[in-house]
Structure 1
Amino acid sequence: MIYILAPIGIGKTSLAKILAHDLHTKAFLEKPEKIPLLNSFYENGNISREMKAFAVQIEFLDYRYEQLLEGMFLKQEGMNNTVYDSSLISDGIMSRNLYNRGEFPEVLYKDYLRLNNVMQRNVAGHPFMGPDLIVYLEAPFERMLSNISLRGRKMETNDPKLKEYYHSVWQIYQDWYNSYGDTPTMKIDMKNIDFVNNKTDQNSVLDAVEDELVNLGKLTKKEVDKLKQRRHQ
């Protein structure tokens, strides 16, 4: 399993699609319409975030767990290296940010953490040791804001005060990356990379990720050489 982690709007979904296509595997993508409370979570700044934090995170928890169950089943059936643009890890980061901001009541936050941890430790009776690789996308805060604006989701752009909230999201991901060490992790600096519109950049990112999968024993060098040859033709 490969997790793509990054703050909002950095390119997680795009990379998950590109990587899954190249590896001939499945991409598990976040679909905002599957989280009914998400619009109301954004609608009234810190007031609605505090009111909806627990309920929204429980909706995400249920959704992610279903994806994780399917991913574990596919792995048992021989489909390795499934790709996820969001995960229980990223949900935990976002929840921690809300708690730090005083927007996730402590009692409810502790309940959420307990559920999140239980779900990550055991998936349908199978011990889960976490993803095989986390790909972390790092980008300047200004690029994050630009990308959020460009994708044009009304709930994410209708309040100018969201800029301060977004900065806290950006910062906590920086802090997470600098302190995390539970599973293999690699960083891609997005400052001067456009893997969506620039084929050279796309190939460079795919090469880096797939080389790391070789190092981890999740792909063979022969398999990756074939992938590279096909892409660079």
Structure 2
Amino acid sequence: MKHNLYIAIEGPIGVGKTTLARILGEAFKAEILLEAFEENPFLSDFYADRERYAFQTQIFFLLSRYRQQSRIVSDVLTRSSLVSDYLFAKDRLFARLNLRGDELVVYEELYATLSERIPTPDLVIYLRASTDVLMRRIAQRDRPYERGISRDYIEDVRQAYERFFSAYDEAPFLAIDTDHMDFAQNAEDRARVIGRIRAALEEGTYQPPLPEMPSSMPTAGPPVLAEGRRRLGDFQRFHEALDREKGFISDLYLNFICLTEEVGELGRELKHIWIEEEARSEQGIRRQQAQEAAIQARLPQLREELADILAFLLKIANAAGIDLEAAYVEKMEKNWRRTWPRPDR
């Protein structure tokens, strides 16, 4: 790593941002920048009456965060790496959650002016957790001004973060699910998180844009392969370019090992879904509705694991010199013509 790093940690209230910032400060021999949220004189009143105190609370946070970020970040980076337990852009996330009408208009104008002067992190770490876990952690740390936080508000915040990071493209970011880890107390969890962050910093978490589609594409065939849609061959060529650009190993056997690991992680997510589905069913919810709700609760993680599996399948095909789309079409044509014995009923 040739320059001082700037890492920002984000996630909903109670997810463990400050704890991880302290851990990374030690691991990376970096200075840490902690949000001075306790200095906000409106915060406890806001949790008691959100509508009445939202504007005062948000403007105080905006100006406080701006003072910290504009004065400290650039100065620290001249001599050391820096880990912050918040991202300046979070302020806008909370403003859009809590402000309405003219108050939001005034806020947006002020935010637009101030945000232009804020440095961009080298990596943003997004810590995820379920609402139940967040509520438990908030209760355990027992900060006086947080005792009035409602579960509904924490759920709103959690969903706002999911929406925010689903479209975030201002800096590379790494999402980490913290529901089943305790990096504060568990050394293995701590080492695993630090390892993932080091890998993200070395490799980058963004992939370059996929190749543009050829100007002339066949229009015949299944709708999913119609003109304007990407083909599997495009994704294979993308991974060839990605491996060259990032220096990733394209070994056939290593990629198979990585694929099996990703399948295991998919199995872990399906286990979570199954447990949640069973719990909802025991509450009298119909099985199909219980499953749909359980899937929705784990949808971001499920999407990521399926994408990782597809990525390693494409890399294995590249290593073996196989046109995966052609192989798939040929095999499915055989399946279409094939007759399978029907099970006895």
TM-score range, shorter chain: 0.7 to 0.9
Structure 2 match to 1:153? 143
Amino acid at match of 2:66: Y
1:6 deviates by 0.5
SS across alignment from 1:122 = coil
Structure 2 match to 1:136? 126
1:6 to 11, 30, 44: 11
Q: Answer yes or no: is 1:207 the counterpart of 2:212.
A: no
Q: Which runs of 5+ in 2 are unaligned?
A: 1-5, 205-345
TM-score by length of 2: 0.55
1:158 deviates by 3.4
Distance in 2 between residues matched to 1:185 and 1:33, nearest whole Å: 27
Structure 1 match to 2:181? 193
1:31 to 21, 33, 36: 36
5 Å matches for 1:4-153? Answer: 4-43=9-48, 48-68=49-69, 69-75=71-77, 77-80=78-81, 82-98=82-98, 104-123=99-118, 128=119, 130-153=120-143
Please tell me whether the aligned partners of residues 50 and 105 of structure 1 are also in contact (alpha carbons under 8 angstroms): no
Structure 2 match to 1:173? 161
Runs of 4 or more, structure 1, over 4 Å off, are none
Please tell me whether the aligned partners of residues 2 and 133 of structure 1 are also in contact (alpha carbons under 8 angstroms): yes
Larger radius of gyration: 2
Distance in 2 between residues matched to 1:63 and 1:201, nearest whole Å: 33
TM-score by length of 1: 0.80
Q: Per-residue displacement from partner, 1:174-228 (whole Å, max 9, x unpaired)? A: 1112222221111111121110010011011011112212224xxxxxxxxxxxx
Amino acid at match of 2:136: S
Higher relative contact order (CA 8 A, sep 6+): 1
Please tell me whether the aligned partners of residues 137 and 188 of structure 1 are also in contact (alpha carbons under 8 angstroms): yes
Q: Which runs of 5+ in 1 are unaligned?
A: 99-103, 217-233
Aligned-residue RMSD, C-alpha = 1.8
1:143 deviates by 0.4
1:116 deviates by 1.8
Percent identity, aligned pairs only, is 30
Distance in 2 between residues matched to 1:67 and 1:155, nearest whole Å: 22
